[in-house]
Amino acid sequence: MKRILTILAALGIALSASADEGMWLLPLLQKMNGKALKEAGCKLSPEEIYSINHSSLKDNIIHFGGGCTGEIISADGLIVTNHHCGYSSIQALSTDEHNYLMNGYWAMTREQELPAKGLSITFLQSMTDVTAALEKAEKKIRKAETDEQAIAKKMQEERQALIDKAVQANKNCTAQITSFYNDNVYYLIVYKTYRDVRFVGAPPASVGKFGGETDNWMWPRHTGDFSMFRVYAGPDNEPAEYSPENRPYKAKNHLKISLNGVQEGDYTMIMGYPGRTQRFQTAAQLEQMIASQRISIDARTVRQDIMWEAMCADPSVQLKYANKYAGSANGWKKWQGEELAFQKLDIIGRELEKEKAFTAWVNQKSQRQQAYGNALKQIEDAVKASAEAEMAVTLLTEAPYRIELVGLAGRFTQAVSRQGQDAKVLNALQPAYRDYVVDLDRKEAAALLEFFRQRASEEDYPKSLGVDFDDFATMDIPAYVDYLFDESAFTAYDKVAELVNAGDWEKVWADPAVRLFNAIMTEVMERYPAMLAPEADIDAGSKAFTAGLLEWEKGKPSYPDANSTMRLTYGHVLPYSPKDAVLYKHYSTVKGVLEKEDPTNPEFIVPAKLKSLIEAKDFGRYADASDGLVHACFLTNNDITGGNSGSPVLNAKGELIGLAFDGNWESMSSDVMFEPDLQRCICVDIRYVLFLVEKLGGATNIIQELDFAK
């Protein structure tokens, strides 16, 4: 901690900051944010938020499944997170006979809680700044070594020694060294992971995903975006693999729940695991990012349109492809919003202006020129050098590689490369067929291959597809697709298993799906050197540019880009105005659920029981005092991004008032630039969550388990 504080203080970076913008590092809260937190309205001390010596708020927060955030809300390890965070686990547990995803589910006893295979949750134990230690080690190594490869190897040994020491000192934990500020600062982070996690309950998808992709990233929202799980432990309360003998985890601490609701201007804070932001990237990098994302948008539009039509036509297909569609569509819509926001808010132009001013500042002193003068050009040249290959690889992986048959052949091939030609490789393949519909994949294949042929350069076309289909430029794609699916054993698990069990590996490797996978990967791997070679220059340039920015922007608060480490953001409940004469309130109510209802649209179906509860105003203690309605969602100006999904929204006392689940359409460029007037975090009100648990789900056992703030 002292190391980064010394760096920032020496650069003149303010050790206090206003609210709103910022994904703040927890170990630095006392020094960097203590005063600002208090001024913003927080009633907790930084020590009560993050401590490695005492129980603190951070002990309630978990990294859920590696890509979301969750929180502990009972003494017996009950977890609440977003519905879309639990989506894949719920889908995996569902069948046509027991469709928990579409119909909802509630465990009324602990025995009814369902093991979520493959799901894990992780607690943060500590974060320690090791920058000075690594710099000292590198200085010593460089005195004895001149070969960069030897230096890199010895530095890796130094890092591993720190990790090993931390693991030895922390029972049942893992450790890693993570870089911040583009490799200018390093932290040793210790985690504890639990792998026995069980599904407790969730509303039906018509509630948990109400509004679907139409409402995704939009306000106003009326989505009951939550699900509940429980973490289990061994008899010593330590991590253990799943066993019927395991018992609910006894939490160090858990969040209390406030039913007081929110008012405009109320203090809020969010703790969680934001995934990735690009606030230290250059204009050249951002231009390349937008160009690459446009390819992904167009390719996914082709695939998703076909997928959606099939899902709407058949409930069984809908269940099988619900998670695949959601996983594809979330990024697809975000990238469209980001592209639009870049245009409307002139993100590239503003970044260029910043870089122009930065360059002028650098050029004022020769010492700065030596340290930072080449950074922007180094990055720009490297981006240009990798651009063509990156675009080609993006097109290959977003179009022909998205054919599921190709993915199945690829999964099999990779399993063989790890385990050898043995029947046990079938274990890696079998689960994928549970949610595979060959006729749908056939349609997608024809469309994706045609899309690829129209968009790719001929030198990027896959080769060696088969005797009759080597010329991709002129081949009859429908005929090739028929050949591919009619002749491949990978259209069904039993066909592949028959070949493997018979030891007919020659026929396996001659399979047209394997040939197509290999042809695609050959093109990808041929372009990888051109993509990877400039990375060292990008890394070096980014490190220098970031260090320069920290020195240049002295007097301003500083926080590193998000990188899936726990952060705190604090702000307030606020409305916003997206355009002239339009003002959005800071909350929505269940009245909007009925206003949006459309029985003909799968995205806007309202369950009959929920409709009757709303019409009867049977809200119990969850109604807001101002209007007698349950408030569904609310807005804050907290600074979040992907990975914050499921994060607790806390009031000034650290009590749970909602769950963060989305950003808003007008500020989709927020990963690059924070927009204080527009950027909002969309949160589901905890009162709507508990209304759905108790009144819609009838799970009073869950309500009785919770602690409510007085």
Cα dihedral 450, 456, 459, 464 sign: negative
Q: How many CB atoms sit inside 10 A of residue 707's CB?
A: 14
Summarize the chain as % helix, strand, coil (round to 5). Answer: 50, 15, 35
Q: How many CB atoms sit inside 10 A of residue 634's CB?
A: 29
Q: 602: burial class by Cβ within 10 Å (0-12, 13-18, 19+)?
A: middle
Helix (H, G, I), strand (E, B) or coil at 374: coil
Q: 112: burial class by Cβ within 10 Å (0-12, 13-18, 19+)?
A: middle
How far apart are alpha carbons 237 and 193 in whole angstroms?
A: 12
**Dihedral, 181, 186, 190, 196 alpha carbons, nearest 10:** 40
How far apart are alpha carbons 357 and 346 in whole angstroms?
A: 17
Q: How many CB atoms sit inside 10 A of residue 529's CB?
A: 10
Cα dihedral 415, 420, 421, 426 sign: negative
How far apart are alpha carbons 116 and 228 in whole angstroms?
A: 12
Joined together, the tokens standing for residue 50 give: 């993050």
Contact 55, 229 (CB under 8 A): no
User: Residue 692 has what DSSP assignment?
Assistant: I
How far apart are alpha carbons 424 and 416 in whole angstroms?
A: 9
Query: Which of 494, 498, 283 minimizes the C-alpha distance to 380?
Result: 283
Map tokens 């009633």 to a residue. Answer: 43
How far apart are alpha carbons 169 and 330 in whole angstroms?
A: 40
What is the residue type of 228?
Answer: M
Which residues contact residue 655 at a Cβ distance below 8 angstroms, ignoring those fewer than 6 apart?
A: 255, 256, 257, 258, 709
Query: Which of 644, 636, 653, 668 minimizes the C-alpha distance to 562?
Result: 644
Query: Which of 286, 285, 276 minimizes the C-alpha distance to 561?
Result: 276
Helix (H, G, I), strand (E, B) or coil at 356: helix
Map tokens 């490297």 to a residue. Answer: 382
Question: Which H or E run includes 495?
Answer: helix 493-501
β pairing state of 185-194 and 121-129? antiparallel
The catalytic site residues sit at 84, 225, 645
From residue 443, how far is each of 302, 304, 404, 412 by CA, in Å? 10, 11, 11, 22
Which residues contact residue 558 at a Cβ distance below 8 angstroms, ignoring those fewer than 6 apart?
A: 8, 13, 550
Q: How many CB atoms sit inside 10 A of residue 457's CB?
A: 10
